[in-house]
Amino acid sequence: MEEKVFYKMLEIPKHCTDEELKKAYYRAAKKYHPDFCSNEQATKMFSDISITYKRILEQRKKKFSLRKIFNAEPVDDNSEIYTNPPEPGTDIHTNINMSLKDSILGSRQRVLIYRTSRCGCTNKNGEPDINCPVCYGLGTYKKNVNIDINTPANIRDGQTLKLTGKGNAGDYGAVNGDLIIHVTVIPDKTFFVKNNDIYIKKTITFPEAVLGLRTNVPTIYGDTEITIPPGIKPRTKIRIPEMGIVNGSEKGDEYAVIYVDIPKIDITGDDKVYKALQFIQKNVYNRELPILDKCVIS
């Protein structure tokens, strides 16, 4: 293919930088590659473009080497790209949602990202191979990648994790970008976090509140037994030491906040409950229970 036709086809000026040339070639190669476009005309176009690109690239390199050796003439704009450092890869941002328990204890998570990855093909000079059917000589290509990560313990909602070098691959010879993971902690139905402490609601019955009991409650680390003393007042907090969040050398506590379930009982046709309540009213509070007519019974 004539150079003139080639540049016209790639829609770039002849005096473009190598970088621009590379990008335009990449675009065109993708357009006409047999994987994407399977007619005969496209295949021929792909072959023509590839051959011409290789030829132009060789010419440009040769021109540059001669200038370097003989230092004969000032370097024109076109050779700037040889002194510019290769472009590093860009960062990739992604999100993960995790349970509160995973955020406190640390967890293993998998994220799927669409990343520019290094191809691995090389020519005899150790550079990306222009004949490579995957990267067309760019040394990188885009693909879906699963990344497994171990998230640290005690990560909070809205925090980010940075995985250095796990972002998009840079140009040949340049560093990769980073993978930045934004963490969302899904609110929990059982555990509520405040600083390093964890709170749970523990609902007990009215007789249990009177008598006290030993009962199991959940913690982030598994169930544990607590003692609820007799006569406990609603909203009393029972401390469960060191069952909170480990934060450096500190360890928070868990608090079981006691709720008392006061029932509404239909005593119509069965006055056993009324009699029991009357007994409590008289013997515990030394007061008379309102007569049934004055009670609000629904």
Closer to Zn ion by Cβ: residue 122 or 164: 122
Q: Give the whole-angstrom CA distance, residue 139 versus residue 232.
A: 71
Render 84-135 in DSSP notation, one character per residue: SPPPPPPPEEEEEEE-HHHHHH-EEEEEEEEEEEE-----TTSSPPTT-TTT
By CB under 5 A, which span of 8-16, 121-129, 149-157, 272-280 interacts with Zn ion? 121-129
Closest distance of CB 38 from Zn ion, Å: 21
Q: Which range touches Zn ion (CB under 5 A), out of 75-83, 118-126, 178-186, 215-223?
A: 118-126
Contact 184, 100 (CB under 8 A): no
Tokens of 157: 């909602």
- List 21, 130, 135, 258, residue binding Zn ion (CB under 5 A): 135
**Position 121 contacts Zn ion (CB under 5 A):** yes
Nearer to Zn ion, 136 or 191 (CB): 136
Binding status of residue 29 toward Zn ion by CB under 5 A: no
Select from 126-134, 204-212, 237-245, 282-290 the region that touches Zn ion (CB under 5 A): 126-134
**185 - beta bridge partners?**
98
**226, two tokens:** 């607590």
Q: Does 243 bind Zn ion (CB under 5 A)?
A: no
**Which one of 87-95, 134-142, 151-159, 185-193 is the stretch in contact with Zn ion (CB under 5 A)?**
134-142
Nearer to Zn ion, 135 or 169 (CB): 135
Q: Contact with Zn ion (CB under 5 A): which of 16, 37, 134, 246?
A: 134
Q: Residues touching Zn ion: how many (CB under 5 A)?
A: 5
Sole binder of Zn ion in the list 119, 185, 193, 256 (CB under 5 A)? 119
Phi/psi for 181 (5° steps) reads -110, 120
Q: 22: part of which helix (H) or strand (E)?
A: helix 18-32
Distances (CA, A) of 51 to 46, 47, 54, 58, 114: 9, 6, 5, 11, 30
Closer Cβ to Zn ion, 133 or 165, answer by number: 133
Question: Which residue from 1, 98, 132, 147 is in contact with Zn ion, where contact means CB under 5 A?
Answer: 132
Alpha carbon distance 115, 56 (integer Å): 29
3-state SS of 62-88 is: HHHHHHHHHCCCCCCHHHHHHHCCCCC
Smallest separation, CB 45 to Zn ion (Å): 20
* Interaction site with Zn ion (CB under 5 A): 119, 121, 132, 134-135
